Amino acid sequence: MIIEKIETFVLTDKLSDSFFFSQWEYSERCICVVKVTASNGQHGWGEGYGPATVLESGIKLLEPVVVGENPLENEVVWNKMYRKTLDFARRGVLMASVSAIDIAIWDLKGKILNQPVSTLLGGAHRTKIKPYATGLYFMGHDNPSRNFKKEAELYVSQGFKAIKMKVGLGVKEDIKNVKMVREIIGDDIELMVDSNHAYTLREATQLARAIEKYDIGWFEEPLSPEFYDQYNELRQKTTIPIAGGECEYLRFGFQQLIKNKSVDIIQPDICASGGLTEAKRIGAIASTNGVDLIPHTWGTSIGIHVAMHFISNIESIPGRMYQPDFLMEYDQTENGLREKLTYPAIKMEDGYIEVPNRPGLGIDVDEDVLHEYAIKSTIDSNYEMQKILK
């Protein structure tokens, strides 16, 4: 059996209200998903995290090294893609293209072998995962946190046991917002903050120290991802655990974060940092060094299922009779690609999500919905044109 076909789809969902965080504003969601089909007719789905049309170009570049390969040998295919991109893309979007194909191959492999991805990874240490709500983004520039109260109350009423809010408006404003959200959600719900690398070391230290009293689960991307040493310095100055890594790639990038003792928690995005094949290796480095791993997710329901299977397979170190809950990022901002693209739908009950035990990622894509969101990109037509001219 061989991989016969790779198809890409750039999906766009225009938002009814735009929202922003410390770096930029979103008025639409635009994501590249990939379908890999084997010679026996079975297929798998993957997605990449990053600029969708650039990602799509990367997948086109990789297509010739993937087609004809055995879909059961994901490490062999991964290495061929890695060697094809190494000279140009040790970090960045081409690695997200590799990730998208790798994920689709894992889904396909699971469907061929009739086993869930968690089993292929080595087995599920847990069948339930605790999602944390990612939300509390800024809306409207005159009073960016105007929806915080309503939104925080909604997450509590939906049963979330953990919530992550945005900071990065300025230290004073952030302190006020964190205090407000903690008061709304009470003491029993975990609260994390994420500045998306908005601050200098001095500002991040000031903010961290001021919000320590609000029992913060972690401070995510306080500083620019390039400042490995400053992350380490910040860790010495606050009791709040420091998290980061959503802009990091491959085991080599995470090795650098861990070697510099930059973070307490690494957050690889599996759809960008090298796919499931590489995530397993990143997980091995994390557990070797006693660093927690909670993947970053942002995208369609395909990416969320990838995280679910991966998290179910993370070893608890140190082990103990009563294991802690394992968290999963669960974006709650407006996104039709998360809600409608795949079936069956994700269900949260009593604040937990059950890891699917169906083959592959445990989902399929509704192709009618897919085509509704798909745009025929210029890259696609250029590519078709190149094929014709050959």
Interacting residues toward Mg ion by CB under 5 A: 194, 220
Residue 9 or residue 218: which is nearer to Mg ion going by CB? 218
CB of 243 to Mg ion, least distance (A): 8
Residues 29 and 88: their CA atoms lie apart, in Å, by 27
Cβ contacts of 305 within 8 Å, gap of 6 or more: 342, 346, 356, 361, 362, 363
Of 174 and 194, nearer to Mg ion (C-beta) is 194
Strands (E), the chain: 3-20, 25-38, 43-48, 128-134, 162-166, 190-194, 216-220, 242-244, 265-266, 292-293, 327-331, 342-343, 348-349, 352-354, 364-365, 374-375
Is residue 296 part of the annotated active site? The answer reads yes
Strand partners, 193: 165, 219
Calculate the CA 66 to chain-centre distance.
24
**Rounded Cα distance, 352 and 159, in Å:** 9
- Residue 147 or 297: the one with the smaller Cβ distance to Mg ion is 297
- Cα 390 from Cα 387, distance rounded (Å): 5
Rounded least distance, CB 265 to Mg ion, Å: 11
Distance of closest approach, residue 210 Cβ to Mg ion, in angstroms: 20
C-alpha to C-alpha distance for 128 and 324, rounded to whole angstroms: 11
Catalytic residue among 296, 305, 309, 371, which? Answer: 296
- The residue sitting closest to Mg ion, measured at its beta carbon, is 194
Nearest approach, Cβ of residue 349 and Mg ion (Å): 26
What is the CB neighbour count within 10 angstroms for residue 7?
Answer: 14
Among residues 194 and 380, whose Cβ is nearest to Mg ion? 194
Of 174 and 220, which CB lies nearer to Mg ion in the complex structure?
A: 220
CA 320 from chain centre, in angstroms, equals 28
Indicate which residues carry an active-site annotation: 296
